[in-house]
Structure 1
Amino acid sequence: MIKSFIHHIQEKGLLNFDKKYLLACSGGLDSMCLAHLLLESKISFEIAHVNYQLRGAESKGDYEFVEAFCESNSIAFNSLETDTHSYVERNKVSVQEAARDIRYDFFEKICREKNLEGVLTAHHQDDQIETVFINLLRGTGIEGLAGMSEKRGDVIRPLLNFSRSELVKFATELGIFWREDSSNQKTDYLRNKLRHDVLPALFSSREDARQNLLNSLQRIKDTGRAFSSLYQEWKRKFTSKEGDLWVLNAKGLKNHSGAQSLLFYWVRDFGFNSDQANDMHTALILAEPGKLFNSSSHLANVDRNQILIAEKGGEQKKAFIQESDIQIETAAGTFSILKVEPGDFLDKNPENAMLDLSQLEFPLTLRAIETGDRFVPLGMKNEKKISDFLIDLKVPLIKKARVNVLLSGNRIAWVLGYRIADWAKVNSGTKEIIYFKKESK
């Protein structure tokens, strides 16, 4: 197995013989086999061990076993003893999530302090198969079916090509000792139930079941790479960022192969799940504009020919503008405040505003729109509800909620991004203009 291991890490470019690594070692079969393989292959490494204090004397025994192994082989030993249950209570996560967070934070700290090349974990082929089935049961995208990567960031898994039975044989032949984790025999965890009950039954169904499954997983991984490339091209073509909104053009979904998967891959980055993605797609295809969807961090709005997503929060807090101010920070961006004399130039961009200074009453007030707000749009003589004005412009619901107004006294002088008020416009009698000009990022 040593020759196979060396060939594998060289062929895949997983490990560099001139670098030093950090091996995550629990003392179990997998990590002890990897430790011996590294020693035999002359790969330089240190060991990191975490005592989660979850199994009492057994956890302490694991710690002492790994420490003794390091001493006998002159390997630097990095250890952490932590109160996992307290972490679970503080962060409201499962024991498994807590243990993962704790160990990877610890590994990252050691690698950073000692300038190590990366973290080696002893996940093997059987772990890979179990992970894929867990992802299937949880509801996964195509990358979940591809399982774990041999190298991702600073984490390297050089044993994914080897089965547990190969590791057992290797350990037996070399007389390698290891510690058995008694919790691995319990079937109250999903992974253990798969390991002890489900997968053995599946593999016994036919002689080539395991190899056929591995072959299928490899093809799925290749398919995932192809899909990822196609998705990036689709995303570049049909999505954009407009101010503080992310926008998806409906052309990217209507009559497009795999539309629901493409949509899910886009919206999941904003915290939306696959069911919500399917509902968004249905609303768009059935022309049901105005539907809103919530994730923990974002709001999505299905409009006539697009889906818009905005980050929650970011509403305009009430702010006051003095006549002497030269800049104002708003939820819509930063504006320079300039004083200019009337001339030939008149900025008609709705993102900016040029107002007759003499008509304004300071301090001006900047705030979000409120129910009942009215103003006299430029070019009109009568007041109009801002809500009706925005409906006439077919402004999507998600944008309406983010509209801000500038008030002079109790009168609205400007609906930011859309229209100034007619009474505040620059005219032939204007002697000085106050110019709100949005700064580019």
Structure 2
Amino acid sequence: MVEAFIRHIRNKSILDPSKTYLLASSGGMDSMCLGNLLTKAEIPFEIAHVNFQLRAKESDGDENFLRNWANSFGKTFHVHHAETYAFASERNISTQMAAREIRYDWFEKLRVERNLAGIILAHHEDDQIETIFLNLLRGTGIEGIYGMAERRGWLIRPLLPFAREEIKAYILENQIEWREDSSNEKTDYKRNKLRHISLPALYSTADDAKSNLLNSFARLKDTGKAFAVLFESWKIEKIQDSDGLQILPLTDILRKAGATSLLYFWLRPFGFNSDQAQDILETCQSGDSGKLFESPSHLLNLDRDRLILAPIPSQFDSISISESDIEFLLPEGKYEILKLEGKEALDKTRQNAMLDLERLSFPLEIRSWQEGDRFIPLGMKNTKKISDFLIDLKVPVVKKHAVKVLLSEGQIAWVIGFRIADWAKSTAATRKLLYLKKR
């Protein structure tokens, strides 16, 4: 096994003998086997152990065992005493989840403090199969079949190609001591049920059941990688970026093979889940224009014949502009405040505004538009609700949330970025202009 291990880490360039790593060790069979293999492969490492204080004297025994082992091999030993039950209670999570969060957070903190090249974990082939089945039981897509990576970020798993039986045989053959965790034999947890009941029953159906599963997972993983490449090409070709929005024409998603997956992989980085992706596709098929979907950070709107994605606007607190101000800042950008002679050529671009200064009263106010707001758009004689005005301009729902208005004595003078009010326009009689210019 030593030769196979060294060949594996060299061929995959997983570990560098010139660097020092952090070995996460429980004192169990897997991590003790890995510690021995790393030593024989001449990979420098320090040892990190979390005493979760869940098994009283047994937990303390694990810590003492590892400390003695580290001392005998001249390895730096780090230990963290965790209040696991209290941590789980504070966050209202399971003990297992608490233990996972505690150990990975501490490992990373220790790695940074010690300037180590990575965190080595003792997960092996059987752990990989268990992880994949746990993902399937929770509900997963193609990426759930990938399981654990040999290297992801600072986490390194050099034992993934090796089976539990190989590790056990190596431990016994080399008379390596280890600590047995009594909780591993209990079937209270899903992983242990899989390990002791479900997977042995599955393997018993055929002599090659386990190897066939591993081969199937490998082929599915390769298929997933191929899909990822094709998805990226589709996204580059079909997703349009416009003024902070991402736009997908319905013609590029409806009746496409794998449409739900395409939507999910597009929207997942923005906090949407697979169930939402299915709902979105059904909404597109039904043509329910105007429907809005929300993630913690983004809004997605079916706007006629397209999907529009935008960040959820941050809460905007109204601002006041005094007569002496020379600029103001909005989430959309910075605006200059200029005072000009009335004979200046008018800037008719939507993003800027030229207003009759003498018709305005300071301080001016900028706030988000509100339901019921009305104004007289430039060139019209009657008031119009801003909600109707934005509909007429076909402003997407996801963009309406960010629209702001400029007011003078409570009267709307400009729907910012769209149109000024008719009453505030420059005329032949205008002597002074207020020019609000976006930089």
Q: Matched residues in 2 for 1:61 and 1:249: separation? A: 62
Give the secondary structure class of the aligned counterpart of 2:148. Answer: coil
The one-character-per-residue Cα deviations of 1:51-94 (angstroms, maximum 9, x if unpaired) are: 11122111111111111110111111011111112222222332
Give the secondary structure class of the aligned counterpart of 1:377. Answer: coil
- Asked if structure 1 preserves the Cα contact closer than 8 Å seen for 2:343 and 2:431, the reply is no
Amino acid at match of 2:368: A
Q: Matched residues in 1 for 2:395 and 2:124: separation? A: 54
The reply to whether residue 328 of structure 1 matches residue 328 of structure 2 is yes
Q: Matched residues in 1 for 2:242 and 2:99: separation? A: 40
The 10-residue stretch of structure 1 (371-380 or 162-171) with the greater mean CA deviation from structure 2: 371-380
- Asked if structure 2 preserves the Cα contact closer than 8 Å seen for 1:336 and 1:436, the reply is yes
- Asked if structure 2 preserves the Cα contact closer than 8 Å seen for 1:315 and 1:331, the reply is no
Q: Matched residues in 1 for 2:132 and 2:4: separation? A: 25
Amino acid at match of 1:256: K
Amino acid at match of 1:78: H
The 10-residue stretch of structure 1 (310-319 or 40-49) with the greater mean CA deviation from structure 2: 310-319
Q: Matched residues in 1 for 2:24 and 2:110: separation? A: 11
The one-character-per-residue Cα deviations of 1:333-370 (angstroms, maximum 9, x if unpaired) are: 33222233456643333222222212211111111112
The one-character-per-residue Cα deviations of 1:285-338 (angstroms, maximum 9, x if unpaired) are: 221111122333433322212323344451322211112212222243332222
Post-superposition offset of 1:437? 2.4
- Structure 2 match to 1:166: 166
The 10-residue stretch of structure 1 (29-38 or 95-104) with the greater mean CA deviation from structure 2: 95-104
Q: Matched residues in 2 for 1:62 and 1:346: separation? A: 80
Q: Matched residues in 2 for 1:195 and 1:326: separation? A: 70
For 1:395-414, what aligned pairs fall within 5 Å after superposition?
395-414=395-414
Give the 3 Å change call, closer, same or farther, for CA 186–335 of structure 1 in structure 2. farther
Give the 3 Å change call, closer, same or farther, for CA 100–242 of structure 1 in structure 2. farther
- Structure 2 match to 1:59: 59
- Structure 1 match to 2:136: 136
Amino acid at match of 2:21: Y
Give the 3 Å change call, closer, same or farther, for CA 285–341 of structure 1 in structure 2. farther
Q: TM-score, normalised by structure 1?
A: 0.95
The reply to whether residue 285 of structure 1 matches residue 315 of structure 2 is no
Give the 3 Å change call, closer, same or farther, for CA 366–11 of structure 1 in structure 2. same
The 10-residue stretch of structure 1 (335-344 or 352-361) with the greater mean CA deviation from structure 2: 335-344
Q: Matched residues in 1 for 2:140 and 2:232: separation? A: 19
Give the secondary structure class of the aligned counterpart of 1:279. Answer: helix
The 10-residue stretch of structure 1 (53-62 or 21-30) with the greater mean CA deviation from structure 2: 53-62
- Asked if structure 2 preserves the Cα contact closer than 8 Å seen for 1:234 and 1:252, the reply is no
- Structure 2 match to 1:20: 20
- Asked if structure 1 preserves the Cα contact closer than 8 Å seen for 2:264 and 2:274, the reply is yes
Post-superposition offset of 1:211? 0.9
Post-superposition offset of 1:241? 4.8
The 10-residue stretch of structure 1 (341-350 or 205-214) with the greater mean CA deviation from structure 2: 341-350
The reply to whether residue 11 of structure 1 matches residue 8 of structure 2 is no
- Asked if structure 1 preserves the Cα contact closer than 8 Å seen for 2:313 and 2:402, the reply is no
Amino acid at match of 2:143: E
The reply to whether residue 36 of structure 1 matches residue 23 of structure 2 is no
For 1:4-403, what aligned pairs fall within 5 Å after superposition?
4-243=4-243, 245-312=245-312, 314-342=314-342, 345-403=345-403
Amino acid at match of 1:120: I
Post-superposition offset of 1:219? 1.3
Give the secondary structure class of the aligned counterpart of 1:264. Answer: helix
The 10-residue stretch of structure 1 (402-411 or 89-98) with the greater mean CA deviation from structure 2: 89-98
Q: TM-score, normalised by structure 2?
A: 0.95
Give the 3 Å change call, closer, same or farther, for CA 110–205 of structure 1 in structure 2. same
- Asked if structure 2 preserves the Cα contact closer than 8 Å seen for 1:317 and 1:367, the reply is yes
Paired residues in the alignment total 439
Which runs of at least 4 in structure 1 moved beyond 6 Å after TM superposition?
A: none
Q: Matched residues in 2 for 1:132 and 1:7: separation? A: 26
The Cα RMSD (Å) is: 1.8
Q: Matched residues in 1 for 2:87 and 2:310: separation? A: 32
Amino acid at match of 2:128: Q
| Unpaired segments ≥5 residues, structure 2 | none
Q: Matched residues in 1 for 2:8 and 2:300: separation? A: 46
Give the secondary structure class of the aligned counterpart of 1:137. Answer: helix
Give the 3 Å change call, closer, same or farther, for CA 358–113 of structure 1 in structure 2. same
The 10-residue stretch of structure 1 (42-51 or 290-299) with the greater mean CA deviation from structure 2: 290-299
The reply to whether residue 421 of structure 1 matches residue 407 of structure 2 is no
- Asked if structure 1 preserves the Cα contact closer than 8 Å seen for 2:260 and 2:281, the reply is yes
Q: Matched residues in 2 for 1:85 and 1:336: separation? A: 57
- Asked if structure 1 preserves the Cα contact closer than 8 Å seen for 2:313 and 2:401, the reply is no
Give the 3 Å change call, closer, same or farther, for CA 248–323 of structure 1 in structure 2. farther
Post-superposition offset of 1:141? 2.4
Give the secondary structure class of the aligned counterpart of 2:349. Answer: coil
Post-superposition offset of 1:2? 0.1
Identity %: 53
Q: Matched residues in 1 for 2:100 and 2:245: separation? A: 34
Amino acid at match of 1:235: K
Amino acid at match of 1:168: K
Give the 3 Å change call, closer, same or farther, for CA 166–351 of structure 1 in structure 2. same
The one-character-per-residue Cα deviations of 1:364-398 (angstroms, maximum 9, x if unpaired) are: 11111122111011111111111111121222223
Give the secondary structure class of the aligned counterpart of 1:335. Answer: strand
Give the secondary structure class of the aligned counterpart of 1:35. Answer: helix
The 10-residue stretch of structure 1 (249-258 or 219-228) with the greater mean CA deviation from structure 2: 249-258
| Unpaired segments ≥5 residues, structure 1 | none
The 10-residue stretch of structure 1 (172-181 or 88-97) with the greater mean CA deviation from structure 2: 88-97
- Asked if structure 2 preserves the Cα contact closer than 8 Å seen for 1:243 and 1:332, the reply is no
